[in-house]
Amino acid sequence: MLSPLIQNQPLIRYQYSDMLDGRLEFTHPDLHAYLVHMRSYLKNVEREYETLLTFLMGVSKNVNSFNRYRNELERFHLWAWEYKKTLVKNLEVDDLADYFDFIFDPPQSWKQAKQEKRFIQTGRTYNSNSLWRPFSSNRKFSKQTHSSSYTILNAFLNELLNSKIISVNPIPELRKRDLKIKGVGGLKTLTVDINVKEKIIEQLFIFSGTDVKKLRNLFIYFLIFESKIPLEVLRSEDDIFLTWQNITLRGDTHYLEFINSTRSECFALSKYTSHCLNLYKEQLGLVNLDSANYQPLFHKTRGTGGYEVRQLRRLVKSIKEEFCNESSEWTVLTLDNLFSTSK
């Protein structure tokens, strides 16, 4: 028996208040009945549901970002409760591995043929829509979607860890499994297997999470190493610097347009660069490119303007060293060669 758990962003605070005040059975009778049913074999399921609501209320005010987090965490909890018959706080590394297998090919009973409303409103009452399901029949789970799922679950489980609800976040351990780097031809040449490369990139996104500074630095890293954009294009010179107006979207591809007094160039952004751009943009609260106006492409905590070449190098060095220090699985040399020709 699947049930939607979370309202749309404008209504979630009212839903949370109803939960705390005991009014959920009147405002969301079907959802209340579902939680009562879950309680029959999952003790404290309502407390776990309350924790989920609390976390989602702290997610970015950007609607797209909120929806990504809600959709992922909603199906994650339903999977734990319905499919695994356990609470999220009891899940271990092997369980998380099962979850990622599950979302790549969920059962037909977990899919909806078209997008359905979660709840149907009648006056002040919201009844669960029996046609709603956590997955869409026509949606394919890509590598980028997979990476996004890791990022969201990692952020949520870190919050549970910080709140002492769980003792270990299983996501980092899951990503370390069977990750091996193949060295070819000594230290100066390193070829990274294509499958391993994608796993490392997933780890980079998990590491950056929703931290704006890390996402900015990761974005610069992808611009240089994946999209092969020269540093002199990204640098600030004579108080002239790149802004969000330099980013355009044509079809499904982002482009960085560079124009100065001597030359004009247009660079297509590769897939991970574009994915990182979208995450970075969301965390900055920029709904779309038009809303960004002439804000610097690489934001500063203090001051305005752009970055010189030496500053850009320092930001890239920072994200590489922080990531390698935390993961201890690979070196800066690996990241420098991540987008070299792979086998």
List, in order of start, the domains of the chain with CATH numbers.
Answer: 9-171 (no CATH), 179-336 (1.10.443.10)
Instruction: Tell me: pLDDT of 68 over 80.
Output: yes
Structure tokens at 165: 């609800």
- Label residue 164 by pLDDT band (50, 70, 90): very high
Instruction: Tell me: pLDDT of 181 over 60.
Output: no
pLDDT score, position 343: 39
pTM for this entry: 0.58
Rounded CA separation 342/332 (Å): 17
Kindly state the percentage of the chain with pLDDT values over 70. Answer: 85
pLDDT score, position 180: 33
- Interval 213-231: pLDDT, tens: 999 999 999 999 888 888 8
pLDDT score, position 131: 93
Question: Taking the mean position of all CA atoms in its chain, how far away is CA 179?
Answer: 21
- 220 contacts 297 by C-beta, under 8 angstroms: no
pLDDT score, position 263: 62
- 65 contacts 109 by C-beta, under 8 angstroms: no
Helix residue spans in the chain (DSSP H): 12-21, 24-27, 29-39, 45-57, 63-78, 93-104, 143-162, 170-176, 194-208, 212-225, 231-234, 271-283, 289-292, 309-327, 332-336
- Interval 267-325: pLDDT, tens: 899 989 999 998 998 888 876 656 556 788 888 877 777 788 888 888 888 888 888 88
Q: Name residue 334's amino acid.
A: T
- Label residue 103 by pLDDT band (50, 70, 90): confident
Least confident interval from 71-85, 88-102, 252-266: 252-266
